[in-house]
Structure 1
Amino acid sequence: MKTAAAKRKKKLKGGDVAFNVVNYLVFLIITIICVYPFYYMIINTLSANDLSANGLINFLPHKIHFDNYKQVLGLSGLPLAATISVARTVIGTACTVLASGFLGFLFTQEKMWHRKFWYRFFVITMYFNAGIIPTFITMRNLHLTNTFWVYILPAIIQPFSVIMVKTYIESIPKSLQEAAELDGAGTLTVFWKVILPTSKPILATVAIWAAVAQWNSFQDTLIYITDQKLYTLQYLLYTYINQASSLAAMVRNTGSVNAAALATQQTPTSIRMTVSVIVVLPILFVYPIFQRFFVSGIMIGSVKG
């Protein structure tokens, strides 16, 4: 007897084969388009800086060296800034996930006092905000400026994430909560023992969004922080990029031999590429860990039922 695979292969006709070939080619092209920018940055950080600055590195690295990474990683204050970025990412992500999960759960409870009013009032905040200056004044009046908590507290509640979690929880059978309540479980017990374990896909999705936002953020440091001990990695590297650009401009104007040699080693292009790689690589490792939750969380959380 022929196997199912053999039968399926036999049924494929010329049109099906052509469709599969075109389909694979399209996805291959899309993959290359997505991957190439990262590959381009990496090979430019590893190649000779003068070639990179002139746009001569496009497909393969030339004159490979690691001086760019040594110079950037040797920055003064970099370990402390990296610690601040990691701390805000971990703590901020955990707080956002818990807040999104709990608020999303509360908005599904019919016994919540004026549930519809508070939910609509909550959604309105997605469309209106006070602006930078009123927000800064609010943070200053709350004594959050020049503190670590200015990175955490304003970002805990994200309306879109709460809406996604609420929609996901509504797809969970009500019988699970009712059975727990019949056994004497209260609201918090239901949330911790029933809702959280069954909401892992959407919570993992929220965790990815929150982690990426926290890791990449530098504007809050620019606005609220003047204490160098609280600088984040992104803000410090952003400052370093600006310094590298000023250095290159100074070299072009002076024409000094020693300065020219320094510019060959450390150009704005090489610094920008190196900084981009250092900032992007850590957060890229988060996606493979949560990928299996991400797809199901998006699909189930975006469409009720």
Structure 2
Amino acid sequence: MIATSEKRKQKSKKDYLFHICNYAVFALLTFICAYPFYYLIINTISANDLSANGAINFLPKKIHIENYVQVFKLSGLGRGILISVARTVIGTVFTVMASAYLGFMFTQQKMWHRKFWYRFIIITMYFNAGLIPMFMTMKTLNLTNSFWVYIIPAIVQPFNIIMVKTYVESIPPALQEAAKIDGAGILKCFYKIILPTCKPILATIAIWAAVGQWNSFQDTLIYISDQKLYSLQYLLYTYLNQANSIATLVKSSGVQSVANLVTQQTPTSIRMTISVIVVLPILFIYPMFQRYFVKGIMIGSVKG
């Protein structure tokens, strides 16, 4: 009995030490991941002269929000936000629905030439025509200088279809068979049985699609020349490249004529404020879907 109790004490000490090391490592990793975002935020609300000199590292100093006020006054920013929000919402909905429906249909044995169409879509993961043919295709379809150039090319995503197909195959076939016995057709099975069951994998795909749409700016660079259709990310991309001239312009404006060094715009303040504006929406949206993320990845992963 004494030997057993001593072993338990030794084991509990080892477990206790393991947990301490485990928490310490994960705390360090969390700090490493979170600090860059924290660093950006505290530098955007601190004195711009201190921020430009690299004096803001852990705590904000001389807090103000003038950086955000001035950045949101930049030309076309409001319209760019509307375009980016619209493309993110609409694009995510279309991508999720297309991935869900195609992934479901590729599990149906009665689908006409199911294997051929599945392989036809999957092969696009490995072969790409390139930029010039893609541009010519978009131009032929009259999608250049159109809002739908943000949406249509991103609807069918082969990897997302694979994830949904694998997830649907993990659902007991008895559910669909019972619905068919009760008279449900393919569409009713999809909307009543599959969609409610596939929430984890669809939430995972929604995160990927939303992040991809929100962060995208190259499609604007390639296909859009109409300034009314510029996305927020493209505008901020141009502003980042022109931070020096924008800072000079803001300084010379009437609003900044009496500003002191604390709120006077610098290239560093412009770059950091723009970076925060781009990142914050994703930081707020991601936790809403996080509870589905791990489950969706694990169950929807490709099985050998």
TM-score (norm 1): 0.90
Distance in structure 2 (CA, Å) of the matches to 1:68 and 1:195: 47
| Residues 74-119 of structure 1, C-alpha deviations (whole Å, 9 max, x = no match) | 1222221111111111000000000000000011111112212221
> Where do 1:98-247 residues align within 5 Å?
98-246=97-245
Quote the residue 1:276 is aligned against.
275
**SS where residue 125 of structure 2 aligns?**
coil
Deviation at 1:243? 2.3
- On the 8 A contact 2:67/2:265 being kept in 1, the answer is yes
TM-score (norm 2): 0.90
Q: Which residue type is aligned with residue 229 of structure 1? A: K
Quote the residue 2:40 is aligned against.
41
Distance in structure 2 (CA, Å) of the matches to 1:249 and 1:76: 15
Quote the residue 1:14 is aligned against.
13
| Residues 175-222 of structure 1, C-alpha deviations (whole Å, 9 max, x = no match) | 001111111111111111111010010000000000000011111111
- On the 8 A contact 2:220/2:231 being kept in 1, the answer is yes
Show structure 2 runs of 5+ residues with no match: 1-7, 251-256
**SS where residue 74 of structure 1 aligns?**
coil
> Which shifted more, 47-56 or 192-201?
47-56
Return structure 1 stretches of 4+ with deviation > 2 angstroms: 9-12, 245-251, 260-264
**SS where residue 125 of structure 1 aligns?**
helix
Residues 243/263 of structure 1: CA separation in 2 closer, same or farther (3 Å cut):
farther
Q: Which residue type is aligned with residue 207 of structure 1? A: A
> Which shifted more, 237-246 or 136-145?
237-246
When the two chains are superposed, the root-mean-square deviation of aligned CA atoms in Å is: 2.3
Residues 158/303 of structure 1: CA separation in 2 closer, same or farther (3 Å cut):
closer
Deviation at 1:12? 5.1
In the alignment, structure 1 residue 265 sits paired with structure 2 residue 251: no
Show structure 1 runs of 5+ residues with no match: 1-8, 252-257
Deviation at 1:32? 0.4
Q: Which residue type is aligned with residue 41 of structure 2? A: I
- On the 8 A contact 1:170/1:304 being kept in 2, the answer is no
Deviation at 1:245? 2.8
Distance in structure 2 (CA, Å) of the matches to 1:303 and 1:140: 36
Deviation at 1:262? 8.6
> Where do 1:282-297 residues align within 5 Å?
282-297=281-296
Residues 263/154 of structure 1: CA separation in 2 closer, same or farther (3 Å cut):
farther
Identity of aligned residues (%): 73
Residues 245/262 of structure 1: CA separation in 2 closer, same or farther (3 Å cut):
farther
Quote the residue 1:6 is aligned against.
none
Deviation at 1:246? 3.7
- On the 8 A contact 2:95/2:157 being kept in 1, the answer is yes
| Residues 25-70 of structure 1, C-alpha deviations (whole Å, 9 max, x = no match) | 0010011011101000001101122221222211111221111101
**SS where residue 91 of structure 1 aligns?**
helix
Deviation at 1:11? 8.5
Distance in structure 2 (CA, Å) of the matches to 1:135 and 1:302: 30
Quote the residue 1:254 is aligned against.
none
| Residues 157-177 of structure 1, C-alpha deviations (whole Å, 9 max, x = no match) | 111111101110000000001
**SS where residue 242 of structure 2 aligns?**
helix
Q: Which residue type is aligned with residue 218 of structure 1? A: F
Q: Which residue type is aligned with residue 92 of structure 2? A: T
**SS where residue 145 of structure 2 aligns?**
coil
Q: Which residue type is aligned with residue 125 of structure 2? A: M
> Which shifted more, 215-224 or 263-272?
263-272
Quote the residue 1:5 is aligned against.
none
> Which shifted more, 42-51 or 237-246?
237-246
